[in-house]
Amino acid sequence: MMWDNFIWFSTASMLLWILGVASLYMNKKSALTGNILISAGLALFLTFIFLLWGDLKHPPLRTMGETRLWYSFFITLVGFVTWLRWRYKWLAGYSVLVSGVFIMVNLLKPEIHFTNLMPALQSVWFVPHVTVYILSYAMFGAATIASFIAIRELKHKSERLMPLIDNLTYIGLGFLMTGMLLGAIWAKEAWGDYWTWDPKEVWAFITAAVYLIYIHARTQKYPLRIILWILPLAFVMLMITWLGVNYLPAAQGSIHVY
């Protein structure tokens, strides 16, 4: 089974990412080496995902373990792209740390099931819907990390991270809303209704609403300390949507629990 090899792929990827981030901190000349090492780690991790895809005979997006796998990849990718665009190497480092936590959880509790997909999941909307969601989660995760740093920097009246946080949040919300739209189209195709007020749908709506509150607060120029604390709150809502809903009694009959 391909999953048995995850420990080797993930360990090698983490080693490349850690060495890559360390290289970013050394000097300007070593930054290129860091970029190459991080890119190699991403390529290796993505290779495992595609090999697992072939082994499962369906996209590895069904179980929590499989979505954590994608999150580990995307959060590192977002941190790396942020470094390339804004040169914030600390965010690349934190992203690798978060990725490592999710990798460790997957090693301890894989939740990988080698079974065929149920009919509702055998849809053209399955891959784009889930992938776009996980990518938005990675964007919001990076924005949340940056918000804690920004809160600390407010003591020195620094607002240097706000453009970064805004971009991550706006793009993340765009992906989240796209995921909800794709999910609505898929739901209509599979169950005959665009929206059923399923627990997962309700919490997705709550999550989107909190991020919209952040955007509203930014446009209305609320105090930055208040604005920045909205992001950790929103991320908690996101974690409930992604991971917590499955443990709620109301979700036991949910169409999103397979």
Task: Give the whole-number percent of the chain exceeding pLDDT 70.
Answer: 93
- Residue 81's contacts (CB-CB under 8 Å, 6 or more residues apart) are none
| Amino acid type, 258 | Y
Instruction: Please state the pTM of the whole predicted model.
Output: 0.92
pLDDT of 136 higher than 60: yes
What the block records as the tokens of 154 is 């407010």
pLDDT, greater one: 125 or 228 = 228
User: What architecture is the 121-258 domain classified under in CATH?
Assistant: Up-down Bundle (1.20)
User: How confident is residue 250, by pLDDT bands cut at 50, 70 and 90?
Assistant: low
Q: How far is CA 77 from CA 45, 80, 133, 174, 207, in A?
A: 11, 5, 15, 18, 23
Mean pLDDT computed over 20-39: 93
